[in-house]
């Protein structure tokens, strides 16, 4: 069986279950004998982890939306160049918990930056690496709030109206590009969600290897 690279991202509101489901997908692929790596944004590199601390946890810093945009993409550029591109070139399946769509919805729909500007900056960091499949775990705002941790970061601590814009942004992105997105009701049983995801990924991989 030939190796087939694939780039998969997980998106959604904080508390939607994407971290759990991305981990489950990684474990499924590994047990199936397919090389895969699991990453997260911002982070997964030393520079990315430092940027993550700055943009998510320094509550006393008054970062502008534009500063957030460039910081997230600095982390992304390092991740793409140092890990994602080499892994894809080696035929691995790359799974990332949050990617460019998070920047579009948080800094665009949420913060109000121009979407075209965000896409331009994202494209520079991407270096041609674009997801083959983006999985959206959609949950109501009330569900997200009930799952929110007590030690919320800068984004989790934003108002309900902010998170309402984030959810609307994700749904609009998924509606505008249905061939890339797999939107799933995040309130479903976690095992059912896992089954839906693994079935879609398996079908895509089988189609690529025919």
Per-residue pLDDT tens digits for 145-177: 888 766 678 888 889 999 999 999 999 999 999
Q: Where are the beta strands (DSSP E) in 4-119?
A: 6-11, 36-40, 93-97
Q: For residues 52 and 39, what is the distance between their CA atoms, to the nearest angstrom? A: 13
Question: How far from 135 is each of 53, 179, 193, CA to CA, in Å?
Answer: 25, 11, 11
- How deeply is 122 buried, as exposed, middle or buried, from its count of CB atoms within 10 A (0-12, 13-18, 19+)? buried
39 pairs with which residues across the strands?
96
Residue 109 Ramachandran class (φ > 0 left, ψ -120 to 50 alpha, else beta): alpha
Question: For residue 149, is it within any domain?
Answer: yes
Which pLDDT value is given to residue 79? Answer: 98
% of the chain surpassing 70 pLDDT: 94
DSSP class of residue 92 equals P
Question: For residue 30, is it within any domain?
Answer: yes
> What length does the chain have?
210
Which pLDDT value is given to residue 1? Answer: 32
CATH of the domain at 30: 3.40.50.300
Question: For residue 65, is it within any domain?
Answer: yes
Residue range(s) defining the domain that contains residue 122: 6-209
Question: For residue 25, is it within any domain?
Answer: yes
Q: pLDDT band at 64, cuts 50/70/90?
A: very high
Contact in structure between 182 and 136 (CB atoms under 8 Å):
yes
Q: Based on the structure, what is the number of domains in the chain?
A: 1
Contact in structure between 37 and 94 (CB atoms under 8 Å):
yes
Question: For residue 120, is it within any domain?
Answer: yes
Which pLDDT value is given to residue 62? Answer: 80
Instruction: Tell me: pLDDT of 135 over 70.
Output: yes
% of the chain surpassing 90 pLDDT: 83
pTM over 0.85: yes
Question: For residue 1, is it within any domain?
Answer: no
Instruction: Tell me: pLDDT of 193 over 90.
Output: yes
Handedness of CA 194, 79, 115, 176 (dihedral sign): negative
Question: For residue 130, is it within any domain?
Answer: yes
Question: For residue 137, is it within any domain?
Answer: yes
pLDDT in tens, 66-101: 999 999 999 999 999 999 999 999 999 999 999 999
């Amino acid at each position: 069986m030939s190796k087939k690279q694939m780039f998969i991202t997980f998106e959604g509101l904080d508390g939607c279950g994407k971290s759990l489901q991305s981990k489950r997908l990684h474990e499924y692929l590994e047990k199936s004998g397919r090389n895969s790596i699991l990453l997260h944004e911002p982070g997964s590199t030393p520079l990315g982890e430092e940027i993550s601390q700055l943009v998510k946890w320094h509550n006393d810093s008054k970062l502008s939306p534009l500063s957030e945009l460039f910081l997230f993409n600095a982390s992304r550029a390092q991740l793409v160049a140092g890990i994602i591109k080499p892994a894809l070139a080696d035929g691995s399946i790359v799974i990332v918990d949050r990617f460019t769509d998070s920047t579009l919805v948080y800094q665009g729909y949420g913060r109000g930056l121009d979407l075209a500007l965000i896409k331009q900056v994202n494209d520079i960091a991407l270096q041609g690496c674009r997801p083959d499949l983006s999985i959206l775990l959609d949950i109501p705002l009330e569900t997200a709030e009930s799952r929110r941790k007590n030690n919320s970061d800068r984004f989790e601590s934003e108002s309900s109206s902010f998170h309402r814009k984030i959810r609307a942004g994700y749904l609009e992105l998924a509606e505008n590009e249905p061939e890339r997105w797999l939107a799933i009701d995040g309130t479903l049983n976690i095992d059912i969600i896992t089954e839906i995801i693994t079935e879609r990924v398996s079908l895509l991989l089988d189609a690529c290897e025919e």
